Amino acid sequence: MQLPTGLAWHAVDVCEANILRVTEAYVDSYAVGDIWLVQGSDLDVAVDAGSGIVPAGPLIEAISRKPVLCIALTCSYDHAGGWHSFQQRACHRLDESSLADPVEENTEIADYLTDDMFRALPSKGFNPASHQMIGAAATRIVDDGEIIDLGTRSLEVLHTPGRSSGGVCVWEAATATLFTGEMLYDGSHGPAWPPSDSGAYCQSLRRIRRLPAETVHAGHYGSFGRARMIELIESQLADLESR
Ligand SMILES: [Zn+2]
C-alpha cells in the first residue's frame, strides 16, 4: 500500500499548566518519542526532541515566540533525533559525546524505525532504514540538581542513568509534575527491555518512586498519574530483580 505524503508532520495538544504535547502524528508512539513544551514567562523548555524525521525545532520555536531550550533526556534517536534543530540544546555531560557524534549503538534506529510504524511518510521515497540522526554540540551542560529558570516557573534536572549514562528526568516540584522521557512510560519497550544498565536503571526507578509526583508526562504513550507510576515502577523493579 502506498502511504500518503505531504502532510503536516507534527500534532500539538494543550495539556494542563501551560504544557504542550507535540507528537509525530503519523508514526506509532512506540517508535517516536513525545516532545513536551513547558511554557514559562521568559523561556520555554522542550523536554526531548522527537525523532528528527521532520526536525521539530523550527516549529516549536515558532509556536513558543520566545527562547526555547531543548533538553535531551537520553541519546536515542526517538528522543534526541530532532535535538540538533533547536538553537539552544541542553544535555547531561555523560551524553554529550553521544549526541555530538551519534552512532547506531546509541541511537538504536534500526531496532525501532521499521516500515510498519508509519501511516504516512514525510516525503516520497522516504526509507525508514536510511534515517540517520544528526549530531550537534550542546549549548548548555546540565547536571543533577540543576535548576532551569523559565521566569514564572522552574524545572529541576534529575540524573537518572540506566538507558544512557547521562539520562535525566525533569521535575517541577511546584506542580508535582515529572517528565520521564525514556526512563518510564506506559507501554511496550520492544528490544529496549531489559535496559542496558539494569543496576543503574533500578536505582533511578527507586529515586523516581520517592518523588511526590502526581502527574507523569512520559517519553512515549502520553501521561499518567501517581498510582500508575507506582504500579509501573513496582512491576519493572520486580522483573529486573528476578533476572
Ligand atoms: Zn524511546
> What is the phi/psi pair of residue 81, to 5°?
-60, -30
Q: How close is the Cα of 185 to the center of ligand 1, in Å?
A: 9
- Burial class for 212, CB neighbours closer than 10 Å (0-12, 13-18, 19+): exposed
How many Å is the maximal CA-CA distance in the chain? 49
Ligand 1 centroid to 22 CA: how many Å? 15
Question: Could you give the count of Cα atoms lying within 13 Å of 2 in the half-sphere of its Cβ?
Answer: 6
CA 161 to chain centre: 14
Question: How close is the Cα of 17 to the center of ligand 1, in Å?
Answer: 24
The phi, psi pair for 130, rounded to 5°, reads -100, 5
The answer to whether the CB of 23 falls within 8 A of the CB of 13 is yes
Q: Please, what are the averages of pLDDT over each run of 10 residues along the chain (243 residues)? A: 90 93 96 97 98 97 97 96 98 97 85 92 92 96 98 98 96 98 94 92 98 98 97 97 90
**What percent of the chain is helix, strand and coil (3-state, nearest 5)?**
30, 25, 45
Which pLDDT score, from 0 to 100, does residue 16 have?
Answer: 81
- Rounded to the nearest angstrom, the distance between the alpha carbon of 5 and the centre of ligand 1 is 24
| CA 204 to ligand 1 center in whole angstroms | 16
Structural domains in the chain, CATH included, are 10-241 (3.60.15.30)
Distance 114 CA to ligand 1 centre (A): 14
Centroid of ligand 1 to alpha carbon of 72 (angstroms): 11
Q: Separation of 4 CA from ligand 1 center, angstroms?
A: 25
163 CA distance to ligand 1 middle (Å): 9
Contact predicate 29/221, CB 8 Å: yes
Q: Specify the pLDDT at position 21.
A: 98
Predicted local distance difference test score (pLDDT) of residue 191: 86
Minimal CA–CA distance to 53: which of 82, 75, 29? 82
